[in-house]
A and B are shown apart, each in its own frame.
Chain A
Amino acid sequence: RKEVEQDPGPFNVPEGATVAFNCTYSNSASQSFFWYRQDCRKEPKLLMSVYSSGNEDGRFTAQLNRASQYISLLIRDSKLSDSATYLCVVILLTGGGNKLTFGTGTQLKVEL
C-alpha cells in the first residue's frame, strides 16, 4: 500500500460546481497534513494546512479524519483558475527528522 494515495482524476467539473478530493495515508503516526497546488509544468505551491478541526480559506475547506486516516479538500464555486493538480502532503516525525511524503496528485479541470 502506498504511503499516501490519491485518485488521479481528472475531475472535470463545470464552473461554479463544488468538488471534493480525498487522500488516504497509511501511517497512523503521521503528524502534519497539507494540500499543495501544482499548475501544469510549474512547481508545487502550498495551498493550505489541514487540521482535525477543519479549516477554511475562502472557497477552500480542508478536513482531517485521523480515525479513518484520510484528508479532504472541498472547493466551492469552482473557477476556471482552479484548474490544476492538487497534491496531498503528509509529514511523519521520525528519529532521523521529518519525513515529507507527497501524493501523486488529483487533477482538476474546471470547464465553462
Chain B
Amino acid sequence: NAGVTQTPKFRVLKTGQSMTLLCAQDMNHEYMYWYRQDPGMGLRLIHYSVGEGTTAKGEVPDGYNVSRLKKQNFLLGLESAAPSQTSVYFCASRPRRGGMETQYFGPGTRLLVL
C-alpha cells in the first residue's frame, strides 16, 4: 500500500495562476482532509470531506476549493494564487471508525507563490 500520496511535491506559481493539488489514498478511508502549515503556526484545516461527493469548510477555506469525486481522491484547487498561499500543504485521511488522531498524513506539497 502506498498510503497517502500527494502530487506535486513542489510547485512555484506566479500570482494569479491556478493549480490543483492531488491527494490520493489507497486505504479505503472515508474521511479526507487538507491542511496548510506555516512557520510559527500550527497545521490549520482548509477543507475536509466525510465521503465521496461531500466536502466542508475548515478553519481557513478562503481562496481554496475542493472536490471529492472519487473516494480515493481529494483535490485542492487554487483559482487565483496569492503570495499568502505560500505554504506546505498536507493531505490526510482516516477511517470513519477511528478518532481524529488516526489520521494518516501525506508527504506534503511545498507551494511557493511569487
Contacts and interface: CB of A to CB of B under 8 A. Distances in A.
Interface in A18-38: 32, 34
B2 to A, nearest CB: 14
Interface residues of A, number: 21
Interface of A: 4, 8, 32, 34, 41-46, 49, 87, 89, 91, 98, 100-105
B105 A43 contact: yes
Name which of B42, B44, B108 has the most chain A CB atoms within 10 A of its CB: B42
A103 B55 CA distance: 25
Nearest to A8: B40
Interface majority SS (helix, strand, loop, mixed), chain A = strand
Name which of B99, B101, B106, B108 has the most chain A CB atoms within 10 A of its CB: B101
B74 interface: no
Nearest to A46: B101
14 contacts: A32-B100, A43-B106, A43-B107, A43-B108, A87-B42, A87-B43, A91-B99, A91-B101, A98-B99, A100-B45, A101-B42, A102-B42, A104-B40, A104-B42
